[in-house]
Amino acid sequence: MCWEVEKIEKWFPPVDRDLILTIPLSRRAPRDRLIWHFHNKGFFITRSAYYVARDMALGLVLAPPRAPDAYAKIWSAIWNAKVPNKVALQVWRACENILPNRICLSSKGYMGDTTCPMCAGGGEENMHVFVRCHYAQEVWRAATIPMPTTSITEFKNWLLYLVNNVGKETFAKVTMLIWGIWKNRNTQVWEGSKQHPHDVVLMTISWPEDFVKANSDGKQQYTRSNSWSKPPEGWLKCNIDGAFKAQSGQSGAGFVFRDSRGQFRAATA
């Protein structure tokens, strides 16, 4: 009628072990059985699971802020850069190390050559492709983008250095050049050809300017109607709105139900 301390120490971390050992044991010694903690009789039912999920969602809204993300500046700079979405997405994928370079593919079963197809001078991983490769270095020199002089070993940290040391316009050009380098890497792999580094710069540097002009001049203006239309007789209408705070990762949503006369019936948030 006591805990088997040796097993608990073997299979659980100290914080869980201490909590387990404080749980009083039953004197009746009943047989072990599965219990759904969120039902008063211990049975699992779908309705109780729904309420648990709802309370968890509401708990996320009311939860204390998460620890600050060391790379929050990168995410903000990437998604706020005035560049096409596919460029921002490709840079984000590079930061998260999910671009299909050869080193990354080798961890997923790829058995082929892992050297860089652009210079054949090193393993093809993100820091080599975008920074150390001779082709990439020629691109950066042609674009006159200031490169970090410190010995940074990870691509995400290299990009964070640029976020902290260059302006928004320069960073937008950096993302475009990263996209241009990867585009030429792909054409080298699949077509056996690539642009001269100066041509990469000419192509990519002018693109952000064209993109900004295309998204600022002659934009059609839309007006938002604030009027509310009633639902048919016997129906309820549900209006919903939500919000997300990128800095803390908090999110929330609100619902309101009104009938065909516009009378309030129910709400939650």
Per-residue pLDDT tens digits for 189-206: 999 999 999 999 988 877
Whole-number pLDDT of residue 13:
87
Q: Is 143 domain-assigned?
A: yes
Structure tokens at 103: 């080193």
Whole-number pLDDT of residue 2:
82
Structure tokens at 262: 């516009």
Q: Is 26 domain-assigned?
A: yes
Q: Is 219 domain-assigned?
A: no
Examine the domain organization and report whether 154 and 205 are in the same domain. Answer: yes
8 A C-beta contact, residue 139 and residue 195 = no
pLDDT 10s digits, 3-26: 888 998 899 888 788 888 878 777
Q: Is 16 domain-assigned?
A: yes
Structure tokens at 228: 């509310």
Structure tokens at 107: 């961890």
Please report, rounded to a whole number, the percentage of residues in the chain having pLDDT higher than 70: 86
Q: Is 226 domain-assigned?
A: no
Examine the domain organization and report whether 77 and 50 are in the same domain. Answer: no
Q: Is 90 domain-assigned?
A: yes
Residue 15 DSSP class:
H
Whole-number pLDDT of residue 138:
94
How far is residue 265's CA from residue 187's CA, in Å, rounded to a whole number?
Answer: 60
Examine the domain organization and report whether 141 and 95 are in the same domain. Answer: yes
Half-sphere exposure in the Cβ direction for 41 (13 Å, CA): 3
User: What band does 247 get if pLDDT is binned at 50, 70 and 90?
Assistant: low
8 A C-beta contact, residue 88 and residue 176 = no
Examine the domain organization and report whether 131 and 48 are in the same domain. Answer: no
pLDDT 10s digits, 29-57: 778 888 888 888 888 888 888 888 887 77
Examine the domain organization and report whether 207 and 256 are in the same domain. Answer: no
Whole-number pLDDT of residue 22:
79
Examine the domain organization and report whether 89 and 122 are in the same domain. Answer: yes
φ, ψ for residue 188, nearest 5 deg: -65, -40
Residue reference for tokens 């009311």: 62
64 pLDDT exceeds 80? no
pLDDT 10s digits, 118-164: 998 889 999 999 999 999 999 999 998 877 766 788 899 999 999 98
Examine the domain organization and report whether 114 and 208 are in the same domain. Answer: yes
Q: How far is CA 166 from the centre of its chain?
A: 23
Q: Is 223 domain-assigned?
A: no
Task: List C-alpha distances in Å: 227 to 165, 223, 224.
Answer: 47, 12, 9
- The mean of the pLDDT values for the chain is 84
How far is residue 154's CA from residue 94's CA, in Å, rounded to a whole number?
Answer: 11
Q: How much is the pTM? A: 0.56
Number of domains in the chain: 3
Whole-number pLDDT of residue 77:
94
8 A C-beta contact, residue 124 and residue 101 = yes
Residue 231: name the closest of 208, 265, 197 by CA: 265
Residue reference for tokens 């642009």: 195
258 pLDDT exceeds 60? yes
188 pLDDT exceeds 90? yes
Whole-number pLDDT of residue 65:
59
222 pLDDT exceeds 60? no
Q: Is 231 domain-assigned?
A: no
Final residue before a domain boundary, out of 15, 39, 62: 62
Final residue before a domain boundary, out of 62, 80, 95: 62
183 pLDDT exceeds 70? yes
Examine the domain organization and report whether 114 and 17 are in the same domain. Answer: no
Structure tokens at 172: 């937008």
- Domain span at residue 28? 5-62
Task: List C-alpha distances in Å: 255 to 51, 56, 238, 264, 268.
Answer: 16, 17, 7, 11, 5
Q: How far apart are the first and last CA of the chain?
A: 47
